[in-house]
Amino acid sequence: MVHAVEVLHADAPQLFHGLTHRALPLVVLSAISGVMGLALLTRRRHVAARGAAALAVAAILWAWGAARYPAMPVGGVTVDQSASRPAVLSARLIALACGAVLVIPALWLLYATFQRVHTGEAPRTRGRSSS
């Protein structure tokens, strides 16, 4: 771990500075969430461990974005310089909403289908006795 921090400091000093200053609270949140997830796994609390792992990943991704702000990954371009026109942003937002309307119910159905408990028994009918 220490070696990775040294490499980051040597190879990407601006990112290192951003992660250790502006984005430090998010980095700490990610680390705490990761340790909390491991502790929850040892206690066999798998659902809570999933949430902690998701929070750890989300926090480190947000930390990377906060550390890079306002510079974009491409050269010295800033966020303001790379922004699209309002019409393009509106069209993308509408397309995203339409896609979410189509994809989210399908993903929910897929998740619900695979989370059902299968006992291997034949389905029972209501109101009829089996004798």
Tell me the per-residue pLDDT of 2-47, one tens digit each, with 9 for 90 and over: 677 788 778 778 888 888 888 999 999 999 999 999 999 999 999 9
Mean pLDDT, the chain, whole residue set: 84
Tokens of 102: 């189509």
- For residue 78, the cross-strand partners are 71
Its pTM stands at: 0.56
DSSP H or E run through 107: helix 86-115
- pLDDT at residue 91 in the model: 94
The DSSP call for residue 78 is: B
Domain residue ranges in the chain: 2-79, 84-116
DSSP H or E run through 36: helix 24-42
- pLDDT at residue 43 in the model: 94
pLDDT tier for residue 55 given thresholds of 50, 70 and 90: very high
